[in-house]
Structure 1
Amino acid sequence: MVKEAGRSARASVWLEGKARRGGRGGGQPSGLDRERITSVSVRLLDAEGLAKFSMRRLAAELSVTAMSLYWYVDTKDDLLELALDAALGELPLPDPEAEGEDWRGQLRGLATEYRALLVRHPWLSPLAGRYLNIGPNSLAFSRAVQRVVRGAGLPAHGVMGAISAVFQFVYGFGTMEAHFSARIADTGLSADEYHRQAMAMVAEAPETAGVIEEAKDILAARGGDTVAEMLDRDFTFALDLLIAGIEAMVDRG
């Protein structure tokens, strides 16, 4: 019980008190290190999903015993937190030394890349917020976002609210898009085929036909020849609305 209480208080692999990146000491399995274990964890999560991920499955992929992994991490949660930060390391960040960069373009770039990351790694969104997210890549992303939003000219008390508005929107949009992509993949159809079939069924069903009829003008005006184009158009417009809101708050003073 005491050990569990200490573990709960620490609540992050990054607050171990000692970074066991090379293992606990002598006797650890050869050919393993934390970086390799993390990389394979990300690959397994991409291929099989969060529900199927386990220490035993990871050990089999690495051709080691499950106990070998405990030279490098204490629990599966440690591995998931490491994998989460590794995935965030894929995000390209704007150069803080670059001159003449507009905060709007930088914010759009960060938001667009984060959306793509959530879709590329569907297991990421359930983990975000489960941990402290204080790994080096997470902190680098947070610093970049804060610097860009500060550059808009908002008062200090409004910066975190603006960040929340933009990136919680991106989180929701990217998470739903990832769910949509997974559902399509299960059917074996392309995104456009699935969309056409689903819309046809919904339009013909008595329970939902009226809703589709009422929204016909909105759906027609949405534009885009493909599902990808429609999603991009919706995302871009919503992000523009949020940026316009930040500009309005700056002008309000």
Structure 2
Amino acid sequence: MVKAADRARNPARSSVWLENGDRRAARSGGGPAGLDRDRIVAASIRMLDEEGLAKLSMRKLATELNVTAMSLYWYVDTKDDIIEYAIDTCYAEIDLAEVDSAGDWRDRIKVLALAYRRMLVRHPWMSPCAGQYLNIGPHAIAVGSKIQEAVRASGLPLDRQPSAMSAVFQFVYGYGTIESQFQRRANEAGMSQDDFYGESIRAFRDDPRFVEALEPIAEILDERASHGTVSDIWDRDFDYALEVLIAGIEVMVERSRSDRPAE
């Protein structure tokens, strides 16, 4: 496993997935009775979903599993190891068979984007982890490969494909992050998303200090308030934004074809 000191010295090359595969396999079994790495990871995901990244500790995880903290070190060396395994386990929630059966590249992008968004919302701690860890576990790589396949099938030139992937999936990452954190704030306030949103909007719309600043966007705020539930708004805006991005890829495909020199 990756030692904490190794991560501190060389974070760009530190990942549990870069360790020798035989050693990883050896550490995944043969430990204390009734405990294995899959069980540890499943418990860690439950704790992360319920309490967040900051509150995960080896001691609390051991208590959750009803084992000693030392028992965990048979399978992992650090909390970072656990988080890396948890990240990859969450990527496995994206149904790649559904992607394969979706149809053309547009439909595949839509299926991937929606599944990625839903995964981020289910696991609010995933977003801050994306930039802290290498995301090179087998499930993460499999999802990345499906994204590349879908964008490649659009017909974009090779040098433009990474930009298109970024446009779509960094949008999804940002959207899912905002959605998940809004849901978290509402939960912490003991309110539904609808009540939390309504109270938040009224808090500044009723404040005279914001009247002038809000005048240019009042029409938009009124439209959103009349559309339906917060969940409806999340879905509507996401679907349309994704259509805009896909339409943009289509335009750029045609532009690249017209820019090619005649043979």
Same fold (TM over 0.5): yes
Once the two structures are TM-superposed, the CA of residue 248 in structure 1 deviates from its matched residue by 0.8
More displaced 10-residue stretch of structure 1: 49-58 or 180-189: 180-189
Partner of 1:53: 56
CA distance in 2 between partners of 1:41 and 1:25 (Å): 18
Once the two structures are TM-superposed, the CA of residue 8 in structure 1 deviates from its matched residue by 3.0
Letter in 2 for 1:148: A
- Aligned to 1:245, the other structure's residue is in SS state helix
Once the two structures are TM-superposed, the CA of residue 5 in structure 1 deviates from its matched residue by 4.5
8 Å CA contact 1:23, 1:33 repeated in 2: no
Partner of 2:83: 80
Partner of 2:218: 216
| 234 and 3 in structure 1: CA distance in 2 versus 1, 3 angstrom threshold | closer
Aligned-pair identity (%): 49
User: Structure 2: any 5+ residue segments left out of the alignment?
Assistant: 257-263
TM-score with structure 1 setting the length: 0.91
Indicate the RMSD between aligned Cα atoms, in angstroms.
Answer: 2.2
8 Å CA contact 2:28, 2:36 repeated in 1: no
8 Å CA contact 1:21, 1:72 repeated in 2: no
Once the two structures are TM-superposed, the CA of residue 168 in structure 1 deviates from its matched residue by 0.7
Partner of 1:177: 179
Cα deviation 1:127-178 (Å, max 9, x = unaligned): 1121111101101100110001111110011111111111111111111111
2:24 is aligned, of 20, 24, 27, to 20
8 Å CA contact 2:99, 2:111 repeated in 1: no
User: Structure 1: any 5+ residue segments left out of the alignment?
Assistant: none
| 221 and 97 in structure 1: CA distance in 2 versus 1, 3 angstrom threshold | closer
Letter in 2 for 1:84: I
Q: Which runs of 4+ in 1 moved over 4 A?
A: 94-98
- Aligned to 2:240, the other structure's residue is in SS state helix
Partner of 2:70: 67
Cα deviation 1:39-73 (Å, max 9, x = unaligned): 11111111111110011111111111111111111
TM-score with structure 2 setting the length: 0.88
How many pairs align? 250
